[in-house]
Amino acid sequence: MRETVVMGTGQAVFVPGEWRSLASCLGLSPRECGIVRAVFDANSEKDTAARLGLSPHTVHTYLWRIYRKLGVQSREELLVRVFAEFRSLPKRSSNGRKRAESRHRAL
């Protein structure tokens, strides 16, 4: 069961370790990851800029570069792309170790 964490940093969807793994797999810089997390929080470019101490134009530029890097064309496609990458990450148990995947089929 996933616990809900404070809103405002994309943590209601993924925990910090998952964000680090996603950023690494997707090739995102820490700043780009912060922008993606803001998209998950449904923040506008203006709100994201205020939270991150950037201009709205800079946030728009980062978002455009992220779209290009990940091959998406909208916030919705970005969400789908990140969720798809999350599903492909190795599953980890609550103690941080990889869970053994069951190789047995149900009969």
Calpha distance 54→95 (Å, rounded) = 37
Mind listing the pLDDT tens digit for each residue in 52-79? 999 999 999 999 999 999 999 999 999 9
Sequence-ordered alpha helix ranges (H) in 7-104: 16-26, 30-40, 45-52, 56-70, 75-88
Strand partners, 44: none
pLDDT for the residue 101: 44
pLDDT for the residue 68: 97
pLDDT of residue 33 exceeding 90: yes
Calpha distance 71→49 (Å, rounded) = 23
Structure-model confidence comparison of residues 92 and 53, the more confident one: 53
| Percent of the chain surpassing pLDDT 70 | 74
